[in-house]
Amino acid sequence: MKYFDQKWFLLLVGGLFVGFTGMNWNMPIFVWVAMVPFLRFIRLGYSVWTLFFAMTLFQTLSTMRIVSEPFHIMIAVLSGIQSGIVFTLLLWVWNQLRIKFSKQLSPILSFSILFMVTEWIGGSFSELGVWGMFANSQINNLILIQSASLFGATGISFLIYFVNGSIEQTLFDFLSNSKISKTSFRYLCLSCFLLVGLYFYGTIRLTIPLEGKSIKVGTVTSKIEIQTMWMDPLQNQKNTEIVLSRTKQAAEEGAKVVVWNEGAVLIHRKEENSFLKRVSSLALEKEIEIIAAYIIPLKENEFFMENQLRWVGKDGTFRQIYFKQFIPPGEPISHIPSEIQALDLGWGKVSVAICYDFDNLKLTKKHGELGAGISLIPASDWKGINPFHTEMAVLRGIENGSSIVRSTRGGLSGIYDAYGRAKGTLDYFEENDGVLVASVPITQTSTIYNRFGNWMVGLGSLYFLLCGLFIVVHVLKDKN
């Protein structure tokens, strides 16, 4: 048992767990104990600077799992430094609270809430959005992620942190006193009870049929890359014809709505009107809704563009113009504000977004508030985040009670219902015709999250507020 007191052992084990949590090569079981070694490390009083450098290294190496063109190593390093700072600072703050205010704060609750609230702040306001969420490690655990309908992905993360904190506290008691305190035992039992209870909830929820009718939707992707389209006019023209041809194919296979991948077509400004007339005529001819996502070069000698979609109705009219709102760090596109809408097409409300927009909790919550039964998402990924990025969007659908249709260049295209069940998928890196058609429910499913939002974050904030008042009273008493 002496290894549990050795700082390098704790760091190496923690690094292994963190290194295979989330993103590709994810091992879902690791996340339930990933923070235990680091909690024990900081509790034993080891160097915060050592922890910082170790966390930065581990997070950098972990992020290296998604490095492939166009994602470069330097971005992984910057991401690792940012994560190292955040994790180390939060662990230091937790330890100070634990030491100074042990009677006013529960170490387990304060740890769980502190990290949950930080994830919510990151998912709502940071440029990385929801990428740092521990809940992402469970995206293939369909039963457990049903609980996102109750309290969102932040609630799932809270449960993960709560389990970690309970295990670490129990381990500390056992190693220090050779017995487990009643408080630690109760927290450990509570964490197990919550986990089992949510599994029961998810299992039962998946047996309840989704109400309302379904429609056939389709995704269309082309394997000609943006850089090729940009540099080679002939290949660009070929790509445009491929996308239009596959749109016809999807319609002939029964799709009533066809979604292109992000930046599916490159069109110069002077050609935009004639191109849109072709799309309008196609929509009118086939009586389909087309989510036509395309890019327009803005600078002659620089890779910089306008990234947008035009929603073309089955009558050939233009329903909506939408520009990408949540832009990844360094992406060479302009930012043009656009209103998020959920349009009523007679058979249900439908909303649109572009790729990274669905990695921001503020934006995705708006889709649910507007009553969208289906969210249509043109997207563009790369091999390093395939299929993880598409599967992340499924969590947003479970939160909002909406089906997800994500058409993806360089990744997995998928059609999912409001329970996150795949109705059809198409992998960009497999040999296929680039067309996916499947039926999906169109009625929004009511969820507690959609009605009350991140209420777990609110409760956590209230907990810290009340504890803060107790701490102030405690400090004032000590002064007197």
4, 39, 110, 179 from 172: Cα distances, Å:
10, 10, 17, 9
Where residue 15 falls (left for φ over 0; alpha for ψ -120 to 50; beta otherwise) is alpha
Above 90 in pLDDT, residue 67?
A: no
Residue 178 pLDDT level (bands cut at 50, 70, 90): confident
- Among 9-18, 106-115, 465-474, whose mean pLDDT is lowest? 465-474
3-state SS assignment for residue 407: strand
**What's the confidence (pLDDT) of residue 70?**
66
Residue 480 pLDDT level (bands cut at 50, 70, 90): low
Mean pLDDT score, 117-132: 94
pTM to 2 decimal places: 0.95
Burial annotation 316-339 (CB, 10 A radius, 16+ → b, else e): beebbebbbbbbbeeeebeeeebe
Above 70 in pLDDT, residue 207?
A: yes
């449960």: which residue's tokens? 159
pLDDT per residue over 363-399, tens digit each? Answer: 999 999 999 999 999 999 998 899 999 999 999 999 9
How many other β-carbons are positioned within 10 Å of the β-carbon of residue 129? 23
Of all residues in the chain, what percent carry a pLDDT higher than 70?
98
User: What's the whole-number average pLDDT of the chain?
Assistant: 93
Radius of gyration of the chain (CA): 24
Above 90 in pLDDT, residue 474?
A: no
pLDDT per residue over 233-266, tens digit each? Answer: 999 999 999 999 999 999 999 999 999 999 999 9
pLDDT per residue over 136-175, tens digit each? Answer: 999 999 999 999 999 999 999 999 999 999 999 999 999 9
Mean pLDDT score, 205-231: 94
- Among 31-45, 75-89, 220-234, 247-261, whose mean pLDDT is lowest? 75-89
In whole angstroms, what is the distance from residue 457 CA to residue 426 CA? 36
**What's the confidence (pLDDT) of residue 23?**
83
Above 80 in pLDDT, residue 68?
A: no
Above 90 in pLDDT, residue 38?
A: yes
Mean pLDDT score, 72-95: 88
Residue 153, Cβ density class (10 Å: 0-12 exposed, 13-18 middle, ≥19 buried): buried
**What's the confidence (pLDDT) of residue 76?**
78
**What's the confidence (pLDDT) of residue 459?**
96
**What's the confidence (pLDDT) of residue 458?**
96
Amino acid identity for residue 256 in this structure: K
**What's the confidence (pLDDT) of residue 468?**
84
**What's the confidence (pLDDT) of residue 1?**
63
Above 90 in pLDDT, residue 80?
A: no
Mean pLDDT score, 16-35: 91
**What's the confidence (pLDDT) of residue 164?**
97
Helix (H) or strand (E) holding 228: helix 226-231
In whole angstroms, what is the distance from residue 407 CA to residue 422 CA? 13
CA-nearest of 294, 280, 288, 309 to 239 is: 294
Kindly state the DSSP code that residue 333 receives in the 8-state scheme.
Answer: B
**What's the confidence (pLDDT) of residue 321?**
97
23, 157, 308 from 132: Cα distances, Å:
10, 10, 27
Strand intervals (E) in 184-277: 214-220, 257-260, 265-266
